[in-house]
């Protein structure tokens, strides 16, 4: 397996049915000044159900009846935002959403891959959305529901759309969003499971659990055709046939 950059500047649209993927903002992590200071922000990705564009942009809040799986599937009927960037990117995020014809009130589900400030710094823009931050799932107003997500038990949001437990970078509760059936195959929005393409020399130093993260990285590389990392450009995963 090798990786190669996916060419194109944000917003990068990967069409699909029933879900398309739009990389709204490309994350970055750049050394600044002396010492170990880094200026960073996380990638922000929009998952758009194909059917959403054909109906009114106004979406009802997910129902409070039923369990977590039902609520998640209902929330995934509208635009889904995976990570929100840091609070310093608020206006940039709003502008990027507007260019896709999406208002903050249209977003029905926000998935935070992990709890670092550069990935969930704008949750307050989406009070009407259901929130899945790491493994914590709540409906608007703070009604929390249990769901049983684990490495052997993904959460199904819709056909070909799942949330995986991919622990390691931020501890045991990191998640990734898996979108199958796009024009480029399966897209995995991986948070900081991958910092960037070619991060083999650096990711361990940033990991709270390198053993778990190595396991998560192998799992993602075994499934993804495209990976959206936390702090760099999306990249393709190329599987080469073994030499005889």
For 197, phi then psi, to 5°, come to -65, 135
Give the separation between CA 133 and CA 163, rounded to whole angstroms: 11
Q: How many CA atoms lie within 13 A of 72 on its CB side?
A: 25
What was the pLDDT predicted at 242?
Answer: 73
For 122, phi then psi, to 5°, come to -120, 30
Cβ proximity of 15 and 184 under 8 Å: no
Give the separation between CA 226 and CA 220, rounded to whole angstroms: 10
Domain 2-31+38-51+66-236 has CATH 3.30.380.10: no
- Alpha helices, DSSP H, located in the chain: 68-75, 90-99, 117-120, 210-223
Q: Mean pLDDT per 10-residue run, the chain (244 residues)?
A: 90 96 97 87 97 61 74 96 98 98 97 98 98 97 95 97 98 97 98 96 94 98 98 94 72
What was the pLDDT predicted at 55?
Answer: 52
What was the pLDDT predicted at 56?
Answer: 46
CB-based contacts of 210, cutoff 8 Å, min separation 6: 168, 204
């Amino acid at each position: 397996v090798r990786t190669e950059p996916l060419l194109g500047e944000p917003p990068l649209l990967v069409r699909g049915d029933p879900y398309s993927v739009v990389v709204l903002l490309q994350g970055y992590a750049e050394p600044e000044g002396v010492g170990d200071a880094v200026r960073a922000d996380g990638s922000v990705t929009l998952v758009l159900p194909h059917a959403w564009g054909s109906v009114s942009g106004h979406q009802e809040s997910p129902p409070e009846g039923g369990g977590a799986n039902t609520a998640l599937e209902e929330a995934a009927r509208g635009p889904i935002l995976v990570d929100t960037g840091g609070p310093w990117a608020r206006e940039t995020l709003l502008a990027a959403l507007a260019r896709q014809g999406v208002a903050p009130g249209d977003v029905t589900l926000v998935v935070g891959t992990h709890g670092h400030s550069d990935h969930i710094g704008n949750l307050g823009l989406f009070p009407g959305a259901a929130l899945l931050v790491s493994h914590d799932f709540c409906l608007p107003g703070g009604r929390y529901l249990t769901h049983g997500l684990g490495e052997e038990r993904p959460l199904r949001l819709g056909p070909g759309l799942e949330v995986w437990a991919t622990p390691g970078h931020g501890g045991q509760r990191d998640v990734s969003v898996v979108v199958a059936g796009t024009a480029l195959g399966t897209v995995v929005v991986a948070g900081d499971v991958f910092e960037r393409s070619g991060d083999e020399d650096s990711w361990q130093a940033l990991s709270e659990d390198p053993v778990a993260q190595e396991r998560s990285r192998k799992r993602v590389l075994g499934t993804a055709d495209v990976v959206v990392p936390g702090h760099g450009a999306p990249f393709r995963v190329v599987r080469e046939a073994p030499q005889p």
